Chains A and B, each alone.
Chain A
């Protein structure tokens, strides 16, 4: 699925605009809330009207989403959608809120044997941030939350919407990838589970098909692993990262037994750097190894210039911050930081 990226549009971009009025869909009154109609929107709001539906079962949701029209979409926290709507990049006809779908879409569940988390897609960032279980077993997630957005956004943004958005600048997808998490995806045809990195197909592009929704994420608890996320910003401190670097490793003394290295933001989707991983796997960390790992990393990713830095500069930053992230790993446990440049 491809989503229009919220890049800057040229002035007065001519795009076909859809004009939708409210249509009352015949789903039993008790199961369906129509939240906002044209009357509400007339109150000085800049958005064209559309329908926002709140089904109470997955079945209803699938039926409501059963459309080829890209203007029919699921609605998680709405933080990404609303930005695109205000910028007129996305003009919805129907938004299907997943808010009232109970059970599997909500909650942070730690398996009884503490081997894995099952997290519902509608879990908000704030719920993640304040969960004692997450803090105890996936501290890098807790820490990443503090580098991310602001309290108001974290209170509503959901991990499902975050994954489905496909924006390569987002901070959580590389972290989930480094943690070896899997996404649960459901449609009326059934459920499938894929590794997080397989969700991303390109710049604002995911492998989700029409009618599919993300129901949650499964994250293994790996007691011997330690993780680090570096959000590297180059202009104002709070900015989209020029590069996001998530590293997760298992040590045997000073030796790296196993490692996952994921780059985001500087590339079109969160990408594992397997060449760098191969250099680091089995090695003890020193400057020579890190330098070889950086060489491998630079050889396997394509970085382009953008507003956050020239390609050359960002390549240099990758070299520096890969080294720093790996060095920061073992002794201090999990960490996520905003690294200016």
Chain B
């Protein structure tokens, strides 16, 4: 069904904030300075796992200009139980007797001059008793080295309650999905294939590093913070302080990127504790280098096994997915569940077993990062798909078609595929790649190849968004939402939705940025949920306003359908330019909690995120050098509410995933990060762009539950991109790379190994 196109929907409005951004007028937390404000600088642990025997802050405190040096002992005086976290209350505001990763905050120096604070860090002395560390996720599953003594699930996630008090394990969560009889199906299969794939630890790298300011006075806290989830921050900080929600105010201006990193609590608990201690505003702004110690993306080891019939029907699949969550759970358990949920891929398989584990290690914590686990799992299942087709001598595309999950068929969890254009997305990629035309495979040391991949993701559920539309006395409109515009263009798209319903020019609507005293609840700007959830809430709020305007017209005795402007209606009603029309709307999707033992549910996701990708690559087999000649991303976005914004999302997410595929890698030695700066941790630059880079959405797709048929699209191109490149590389050189990132050296090593002349292990 085609989208209903009105005056605002489906048009490429320029971002409402573009002018402010390019002229340097846009507001960011980094710009904010409050009177009497102190700066905090963080002293970090140098060891990945150790007991703290002594923290000596005396010399630092004595340095002229230092206001105070704070440790966990000071924090405990104002917050008796100083542990936080969205899934587990496992993270201390500052290290509490123990450090669990190299880079963990141990103490904070406060000073009016941040250079003095920085200077004083060098005077802090900590004595440690070093403990053995565990860094690899697979080792941590069975290691006797324990990162935490006991699991401490948070009350906010009732489905984790059974984990409370569990001891002697690094496994924070084990997600299970069972469908059919996998063992029997394997026994009956003609062929069984098993492969293990790995994805590396990477970082979000927002250009605006983390920054938060807390201002506690008169029993009331105001937080100015670069956060993707102001409502969550308020709830969690109120819990820590034992205050009602209305005593905590969280304000968020624009963000310079978030990508999932700025969710839940990051610096907020720390600056809050500091401000409560000193009764002054306190600001902490991380450096680019410190971001590596805040939150990162889960490394993942995924062993995938499939049973297949002679003619290429997949009858059984077993997924063993181990997520390296680092030292603190953050939202890792949810990544483990959601990533696990779709880890069997967009295929129609009768018998599926999935085990997905969140594992603690002594690495920097891992949390949500664009794709929420889907990129790591798709890397495995789509490379696996090609390997099976190759081994069986079946065409890779036909093999996918034969097993593809189609509209209405139940996915592994039992949730049917609905409004998900997997096959059309694949076909569009094939068309743009000119798959039917033969490929010039190169000569001599140059080899070319091409590959495709498809993937999908489930969306965190159930989550709530609330919106307010406020029509003022002159008929102009303010939209009050908790969605954070962090570069994705949400202000513009939400204004389009409101404008469409209210029949006003979206560029005239003012979008009020998150301020929990003013804007209503929203679960967070995360997991491609805003367009769908907040979009529905905004639409409902605008509908509500519209019906209130109609009611006012009726009250004033106007005939049905009269076109007297709102300003005039309000003037007639109140005798002057006065009054408001306030429309409210909220949205929570239809959801059914999965069975804890089998993971089965008929409503496991509000919508399906769908992406397909194709790549054509060239490899210099003498050195392993990889050139991406063509990269194609196609996503099912439902209705493209703003086609330009959609294309930018697809392109941006694709470039980010390209970095996670070929250049980015946090390298550790003995638990110490060895490349924690942008000189040594390489994000792709313009020079690394594919020669030809195409991003498109599937035309005329429509999600019946979305606002005007739309679904979220912030992550669609993060899913299938890595395996498309991996499969293209394999097509070029005849060897499958199993571990990300795919580098010149890893390609050369794979080639040499296949030639029987392996390079020495590094």
**Interface residues in chain A, defined as those with a beta carbon under 8 Å from any beta carbon in chain B:** 6, 8, 10-17, 19, 41-42, 45-49, 87-88, 234-240, 305, 307, 309-313, 316-317, 320, 338-341
Which of A12, A15, A309, A316 counts the most B-chain CB atoms under 10 A from its CB?
A: A12
Closest to A311 in B: B762
* Ranked 4 nearest A-B pairs via Cβ: A341-B744, A11-B44, A310-B762, A236-B682
Contact check, A46 vs B102: say whether CB atoms are below 8 A apart.
no
Interface string of B87-115 (1 = CB under 8 A from A): 00000000000000011001000000111
Contact check, B114 vs A46: say whether CB atoms are below 8 A apart.
yes
Known: A340-B626, A341-B623. 8 other contacts (CB 8 A): A11-B103, A12-B45, A17-B122, A41-B115, A87-B677, A235-B682, A307-B674, A341-B625
Residues of chain B contacted by A6 (CB below 8 angstroms): 679
Q: How many A-B residue pairs have CB under 8 A?
A: 110
Residues of chain B contacted by A87 (CB below 8 angstroms): 289, 677
Closest to A49 in B: B115
Contact check, A8 vs B745: say whether CB atoms are below 8 A apart.
no
Residues of chain A contacted by B623 (CB below 8 angstroms): 316-317, 320, 341
Q: Is B43 an interface residue (CB 8 A)?
A: yes
Residues of chain B contacted by A237 (CB below 8 angstroms): 685, 687-688
Partner of B685, one of A46, A238, A240, A341: A238
Q: Is B535 an interface residue (CB 8 A)?
A: no
Partner of B682, one of A14, A42, A239, A305: A239
Contact check, A320 vs B622: say whether CB atoms are below 8 A apart.
yes
Closest CB in chain B relative to A150 CB, distance in Å: 10
Closest CB in chain B relative to A171 CB, distance in Å: 15
Q: How far is the CA of A237 from the CA of B689 in the complex (A)?
A: 10
Contact check, A307 vs B672: say whether CB atoms are below 8 A apart.
no
Contact check, B684 vs A236: say whether CB atoms are below 8 A apart.
yes
**Interface residues in chain B, defined as those with a beta carbon under 8 Å from any beta carbon in chain A:** 42-46, 102-103, 106, 113-115, 118-119, 121-122, 124-125, 287, 289-290, 293, 620, 622-627, 663, 667, 672-677, 679-680, 682-685, 687-688, 743-745, 748-749, 759-760, 762
Residues of chain B contacted by A320 (CB below 8 angstroms): 622-623
Q: A8-B673, A8-B676, A239-B682 are in contact. Are A313 and B46 (CB under 8 A)?
A: no
Q: How far is the CA of A310 from the CA of B623 in the complex (A)?
A: 13
Contact check, A12 vs B759: say whether CB atoms are below 8 A apart.
no
Closest CB in chain A relative to B282 CB, distance in Å: 16
Q: A41-B115, A310-B745, A320-B623 are in contact. Are A10 and B672 (CB under 8 A)?
A: yes
Q: How far is the CA of A93 from the CA of B748 in the complex (A)?
A: 48
Closest to A240 in B: B679
Q: How far is the CA of A307 from the CA of B759 in the complex (A)?
A: 17
Closest to A338 in B: B687
Contact check, A236 vs B748: say whether CB atoms are below 8 A apart.
no
Q: How far is the CA of A69 from the CA of B622 in the complex (A)?
A: 49
Closest CB in chain B relative to A13 CB, distance in Å: 8
Contact check, B667 vs A307: say whether CB atoms are below 8 A apart.
yes
Contact check, A236 vs B685: say whether CB atoms are below 8 A apart.
yes
Q: How far is the CA of A240 from the CA of B682 in the complex (A)?
A: 10
Closest to A305 in B: B762
Q: How far is the CA of A316 from the CA of B674 in the complex (A)?
A: 24
Contact check, A313 vs B119: say whether CB atoms are below 8 A apart.
no
Closest to A10 in B: B46
Q: How far is the CA of A251 from the CA of B682 in the complex (A)?
A: 40
Partner of A341, one of B122, B290, B620: B620
Contact check, A17 vs B119: say whether CB atoms are below 8 A apart.
yes
Q: How far is the CA of A305 from the CA of B683 in the complex (A)?
A: 21
Closest CB in chain B relative to A88 CB, distance in Å: 7
Contact check, A12 vs B121: say whether CB atoms are below 8 A apart.
yes
Q: How far is the CA of A340 from the CA of B663 in the complex (A)?
A: 12
Closest to A341 in B: B744
Closest CB in chain B relative to A34 CB, distance in Å: 19
Closest CB in chain A relative to B122 CB, distance in Å: 5
Residues of chain B contacted by A19 (CB below 8 angstroms): 119
Contact check, A341 vs B119: say whether CB atoms are below 8 A apart.
no
Q: A235-B663, A236-B682, A316-B748 are in contact. Are A340 and B625 (CB under 8 A)?
A: yes
Contact check, A8 vs B119: say whether CB atoms are below 8 A apart.
no
Closest CB in chain B relative to A159 CB, distance in Å: 21
Q: How far is the CA of A95 from the CA of B626 in the complex (A)?
A: 44
Closest CB in chain B relative to A6 CB, distance in Å: 8
Partner of B663, one of A16, A236, A240: A236
Q: How far is the CA of A341 from the CA of B748 in the complex (A)?
A: 10
Contact check, A341 vs B745: say whether CB atoms are below 8 A apart.
yes
Which of B115, B290, B620, B624 counts the most A-chain CB atoms under 10 A from its CB?
A: B115
Residues of chain A contacted by B677 (CB below 8 angstroms): 8, 87
Partner of A234, one of B45, B113, B290, B744: B744
Contact check, A341 vs B624: say whether CB atoms are below 8 A apart.
yes
Contact check, B759 vs A312: say whether CB atoms are below 8 A apart.
yes
Q: How far is the CA of A104 from the CA of B144 in the complex (A)?
A: 68
Q: How far is the CA of A239 from the CA of B122 in the complex (A)?
A: 31
Which of A16, A87, A240, A341 counts the most B-chain CB atoms under 10 A from its CB?
A: A341
Residues of chain B contacted by A340 (CB below 8 angstroms): 625-627, 744
Partner of A312, one of B113, B118, B124, B760: B760
Closest to B667 in A: A307
Q: How far is the CA of A88 from the CA of B106 in the complex (A)?
A: 20
Q: How far is the CA of A312 from the CA of B667 in the complex (A)?
A: 18
Q: How far is the CA of A19 from the CA of B123 in the complex (A)?
A: 13
Closest CB in chain A relative to B518 CB, distance in Å: 28
Q: How far is the CA of A311 from the CA of B759 in the complex (A)?
A: 10
Residues of chain A contacted by B46 (CB below 8 angstroms): 10-13
Q: A11-B44, A46-B115, A236-B687 are in contact. Are A313 and B672 (CB under 8 A)?
A: no
Residues of chain A contacted by B121 (CB below 8 angstroms): 12, 14
Closest CB in chain A relative to B301 CB, distance in Å: 22
Q: How far is the CA of A13 from the CA of B122 in the complex (A)?
A: 7
Q: How far is the CA of A316 from the CA of B752 in the complex (A)?
A: 11
Residues of chain B contacted by A10 (CB below 8 angstroms): 46, 102, 672
Q: How far is the CA of A16 from the CA of B289 in the complex (A)?
A: 20
Closest to B746 in A: A313
Contact check, A12 vs B43: say whether CB atoms are below 8 A apart.
yes
Contact check, B115 vs A48: say whether CB atoms are below 8 A apart.
yes
Closest CB in chain B relative to A313 CB, distance in Å: 5
Q: How far is the CA of A234 from the CA of B680 in the complex (A)?
A: 12
Q: How far is the CA of A310 from the CA of B759 in the complex (A)?
A: 9
Residues of chain A contacted by B293 (CB below 8 angstroms): 11
Q: How far is the CA of A12 from the CA of B677 in the complex (A)?
A: 14
Closest to B760 in A: A312
